[in-house]
Amino acid sequence: MKVNFLNIKSFLLRNKIKKIFNYAIKECKINWKNLYVNVGFVSESAIQKLNNENRNVDKITDVLSFPFFNLIPGQEPDYSIFIKEQEPNTKLVELGDIVICESVAIRQAKQYGHSIKREVCYLATHGFLHILGFDHMSEEEENKMNALCEKFLLKFGVKR
């Protein structure tokens, strides 16, 4: 799986996120190699604008996800939808976009007493799980999503 990074300078952080995403794809039973997702950092004003335009919530937030497919967690997707959406030259299929507010991530890392690397990896993984169809509308869904985030982070040495 390919991950396009926008405004994320740290090679080590980018590498860690790629590994987590590739592991998450396998764990979520998606067996399609030519996938990609975009992950980028934006300002508070940009994320507030995106949040307002897309969710009608006029507030700053930490992460937003924009899935391109309605995937169902734990179910292998109908790959014919991917075939229809392949880019003609590369045969890649875009799963969606993840946008992280860098300044909020920095504040939250301090608030929670862990590293910025951990917070960014958590937010990226959380956003990626939304791309894969997970949500947290109920307490049960939220617990499952948080447990998966922690499992994927711990697998690659990203500790609390």
Identify the CATH number of the domain in which residue 149 sits. Answer: 3.40.390.30
Here the tokens at position 60 are 């700053």
**Do residues 153 and 117 touch, judged by C-beta distance below 8 A?**
no
In a domain, 70, yes or no: yes
Residue 160 within a domain: no
- d(CA 32, CA 41) in angstroms, rounded, equals 27
pLDDT band at residue 29 under the 50/70/90 scheme: confident
Q: How confident is the model at residue 94 (pLDDT cuts 50, 70, 90)?
A: very high
Query: Would the pLDDT of 111 be above 90?
Result: yes
3-state secondary structure of 110: helix
Q: Which domain, by its residues, includes 123?
A: 2-155
Q: Could you give the number of structural domains in the chain?
A: 1
Tell me if 30 is assigned to some domain.
yes
Instruction: Determine what percent of the chain is predicted with pLDDT higher than 90.
Output: 82
Over residues 110-126, the mean pLDDT reads 95
